[in-house]
A and B are shown apart, each in its own frame.
Chain A
Amino acid sequence: MSEQTIEIPRRESSILRAIKSVALLRESAVGMVGLAIVLFWVLVALFADLLAPFPPNATIMPLVMPGTEAPDGGMFLLGTDHIGRDILSRIMHGARQVLIYGPLATVCAYSVGIPMGLAAGYVGGLTDEVLSFIANVILSFPVLVLYVIIIATIGASAVNIVIAVTFASAPGIMRIVRGLVLDLRSREYVFAAQTRGEPPWRIMAVEILPNARGPLIVDACLRLGYVIITIGVLGFLGLGLPPPDPDWGGMINETRQMAMAFPHMALFPCLAISSLVLGFNLLADGLREVSLRD
């Protein structure tokens, strides 16, 4: 009658478990490259003040090619822009902007999208129909059209970008969560919770949501990359963060007229944003690969 005994695992702290999941990611080369890129930019953003050779908004020497020596020592590694600001320093400080508003907007979008998705998927019926219809209406706007209209109406500011991203992304998140919930709610442990009379909110939050976290983490990584692109595009279209604070998209927009003669001004911000988005996309791919193996 006795079952075979295996070694007893100790209770794991959640930090330890998080570290273990990262260790799992080691098995995906793609994921590790992504993680490295993301970490690189996070460190740059954190220590921008220490790392940047010049103040980001200081006018020093206009239109200098990469590698030129600065007048009072130091070097413009990536050159300067049309009004003489050091591009490297601006990229470093720009990373900070992107890595504050990108995740912030994503978190906001999730905190709206997840409850909507849970309600639509679990409660079903009319709730589902109404929520799904709202989601469909919002999703039927081409994304950028929606952003342009929202920002043009409410004005360009950091907060408004967060609001616009939340508004535009929450329906997509809702759909994903809804799909996951529809799958999970027919599981027997959910049925068991129902038969012991658990209230619906508890079933959604405790029984269902934790089991949807895998796909949601992958989606969050992808979405973060996309939000970063969006912030960049808005900056590029002149609807982003107001100048003069460095914003990668804005930097490209301001300098693209002269990009034919001085390509370095637009080129480096382009590489910066592309690499950061690539980092998140690769990380998401790695996470997906690892989670499928489990």
Chain B
Amino acid sequence: MSTNGKDYDGPILECKDLSISYFTRAGEIPAVVDFNLTLRQGDSVGLVGESGCGKSTVAMAIMQYMGNNGGIVGGSIVYKGRDLATLSEEELRQLRGNEIAMVYQEPMAALNPSMTLGRQLMEVPLCHEDINEEEAYSRAIKILADVHLPDPERVMSSYPHQISGGQQQRVVIAMALLSNPSLLLLDEPTTALDVTVEAGIIELIAEIAKKFHTSMIYISHNLGLILATCDRVNVMYSGQVVEEGTVDEVFDHMRHPYTKGLFSAIPLPGADKTARPLVPIRGQLPLPHERPPGCYFGPRCDHFAEGSCNSGLIQMTSVSGEAGHGVRCCRWDDIDWDAYRPEGVGGATITQGERVLSINKMRKYYEIHDNSIAALIKGNRVRYVKANESISFEAMESQTVAIVGESGCGKSTFAKVLMGLETATDGEVVFKGEDVSNYPVQKRTPKQVGSVQMVFQNPFDTLNPSHSVGAQLARVIRKFGVESDKHKIEHRVMELLDLVKLPRDFARRRPRQLSGGQKQRVGIARAFAGNPSMVVADEPVSALDVSVQAAVTGLLMDIQREFRTTLLFISHDLSLVRYLADRVVVMYLGHIVEQGTTDEVFSPPYHPYTEALLSAVPIADTSIEKKRIILEGNLPSVINPPKGCPFNTRCQRKLGSICETEDPPFVEDASGHVISCHIPMEELRKVEPVIKMHKEEDQPAAE
């Protein structure tokens, strides 16, 4: 039967008027409304949208795996002519993993921790096909080679925790491909991975689509990844598809105000904080049971028309002249986009002031005690984790300095030293003329403490759930000695809430009554409560939805400019860094490999790592052409870093043995633009730019 199924030549998958709901104690919650999709052999369709838009629910419905409380309440999912809802449990079992396979968001969680990977791979063909153990083993070995895993035999006998995250995801992909499925569902397969590892997986997925001619549904919140992997795209908002079409149609000639809004809210290479600022989408995603009548996007839309937009379900209509391009907007033809000039977040550039922070050859080592037998014999029980090695850079008043790097690059350690939670092992951290490298936070004066504050990454974690927003802000004000009188403190709390554009009654609320974006705003207010000279923002928007990111970023920039604060912006998102930073510091395994102004870092000469990083960042712009550089291997561990240049194990431009033995020199290209590499600067200058825009007419000189 399964071979029969694979010769089928109609559409692989058809979702017709599909509606899915969850049933909770609060009643029925519609997760997906009126979803239509037709997938032919070899098609790859992207589902893109923010959290809670129903994109993953669609995938789970296709798998017919929706838990106890989820169910299809309308429409049908037809796979190769068979309505999945009518299949028996046994028939479904034969489809799952065999004809329809899935790749998941977190590979570590998706693999059974107590079984070898080999077993987990082999059981797929063993349960779907009539083959013996040896055949299953050789099939598994072959497929591991297909997903470019080195040493497949070793992988087969490993447990999941013994290989890296990127390798785990390759194993999960191999597992999905083992029985050569007709349909592959990929649910945010790279979200949990570092950007250079992500690039490798994305390339693999694109390769698979070609090689196996598998139909794919790619689910992501990242428009850039959709562009890299899909032919068609469905943009989802709050349970509905609001726009569908080919990638070119949707990316270049989007019709729906939400799609338009999304593209204006993400920092594409053309955006610039002064000339072409980001435009946030106002408001926030409606909760499923609070959706407005008519268009779900209505309350956030600038083109909302009373009467037409809020009466009845809006139907999908075809854009005239583009057969496959549909849009769920009753006004798509009326909106005059050329006349639409929304207010962006940004503003005039300001002059940089005097030096606020100067870091000179700062090192931070952690001791770890090794209790293994080998260490006992050799006698080197204590080893050092070189979290930061020779960090030197400066930051001026009202300047934004971005620190860029992947996980384990040492940016968090650096922040800890700066905040006084750790003391430096060596070197200087001069803040406003005073070396604070050996002052833990307890020894700093309240004023010193208040003048360096931090904005944190995780909105669900940044505020204490047990105390009200007002109480938490008041504590900071009192602690830093800004005010001591009860009424003045209350007044100051209100001012701070005004500053971050939150209603004043939020002071009485508990954090759980706030949305993610609102919590981040409170987090920003908290950081600015002590009138700081410098704020360290550690990935402040990376956990937020795209449409909210721009607003929070803009707010942070506004406040920073107003108070002439120095902003240290720690991020892995190069697009965002390019948009808002004045200077960029690129870190790899605790070392600074390159630093300079934003323009200098984003154009040649590059450090090879910067070059690879730039190439790895997915960009949601069809007019961009990128060089493809896929790094080999894994991020080395900081416990056991490579000798010589830290990047030598993965470098695409490695010279030879010199890279493995000698520390690279710091070479200055222009004043302040420093690259740490053995390759002569003249060579590096000859390198082609990673990103090229080939539709010049769209791009005013941004650089």
Contacts and interface: CB of A to CB of B under 8 A. Distances in A.
Contact of B479 (A1, A27, A198): A198
Given A2-B282, A188-B462, A211-B466, A196 B508 contact: no
Nearest to B419: A195
B461 A194 contact: no
Contacts of A244: none
Given A2-B501, A9-B509, A196-B480, A188 B441 contact: no
Contact of A189 (B280, B282, B463, B479): B463
A145 interface: no
B107 interface: no
Contacts of A206: 467
Contacts of A23: none
A173 B503 CA distance: 42
A234 B177 CA distance: 64
B299 interface: yes
Interface in A1-24: 1-6, 8-11
Contacts of A188: 456-458, 461-462
B444 A192 contact: no
Contact of A197 (B449, B454, B461): B449
Interface stretch (B242-250, B510-518, B625-633): B510-518
Interface in A185-223: 187-189, 191-192, 194-199, 206-207, 210-211, 213
A192 B526 contact: yes
A8 B456 contact: no
Contacts of A3: 283-284, 501-503, 515, 517-518
B456 A4 contact: no
Contacts of A2: 282-283, 501
A66 B639 CA distance: 76
B450 interface: yes
B442 interface: yes
Contacts of B503: 3, 5
A160 to B, nearest CB: 37
Interface string B24-41: 010000000000000000
B283 A8 contact: no
Interface string B471-508: 00000100110000000000000000000011101001
A3 to B, nearest CB: 6
Interface in B587-628: none
B173 interface: no
Contacts of A1: 280, 282, 345, 501, 551, 554-555
B465 A196 contact: no
B543 to A, nearest CB: 11
A246 B125 CA distance: 70
B479 A197 contact: yes
Interface in B421-479: 421, 441-442, 444, 446, 449-450, 453-454, 456-458, 461-467, 476, 479
Interface residues of B, number: 47
Interface in B266-294: 280, 282-284
A5 to B, nearest CB: 6
A56 B479 CA distance: 59
A189 B421 contact: no
Given A5-B503, A11-B508, A210-B466, A195 B476 contact: no
Interface residues of A, number: 27
Contacts of B530: 196
Given A2-B501, A189-B461, A189-B464, A197 B283 contact: no
Contact of A192 (B462, B465, B466): B462
Interface string B547-558: 000010011000
Contacts of B456: 188, 191-192
Most buried by B among A2, A27, A213: A2
Contacts of A6: 513
Nearest to A211: B466
Contacts of A27: 25
A246 to B, nearest CB: 42
Interface in A168-195: 187-189, 191-192, 194-195
B346 interface: no
A164 to B, nearest CB: 33
Contacts of A194: 419, 421, 441
Nearest to A7: B505
Given A1-B280, A2-B501, A189-B461, A196 B453 contact: yes
A184 B420 CA distance: 21
A6 B513 CA distance: 9
Contacts of A11: 508
Contact of B462 (A10, A189, A197): A189
A6 B287 CA distance: 12
Nearest to A207: B464
Nearest to B345: A1
Contacts of B466: 210-211, 213
A196 B476 CA distance: 8
A27 B441 CA distance: 46
A195 B420 contact: yes
Contacts of A197: 420, 441-442, 444, 446, 449, 479
B299 A4 contact: yes
A8 B509 CA distance: 8
A168 to B, nearest CB: 30
12 contacts: A1-B551, A2-B282, A3-B283, A3-B501, A192-B454, A195-B453, A196-B449, A196-B450, A196-B476, A197-B420, A197-B444, A207-B464
Interface of B: 25, 280, 282-284, 299, 345, 419-421, 441-442, 444, 446, 449-450, 453-454, 456-458, 461-467, 476, 479-480, 501-503, 505, 508-509, 513, 515, 517-518, 523, 526, 530, 551, 554-555
Q: What are the 5 tightest A-B residue pairs by CB atom distance, in nearest-first order?
A: A210-B466, A188-B456, A189-B464, A188-B461, A8-B505
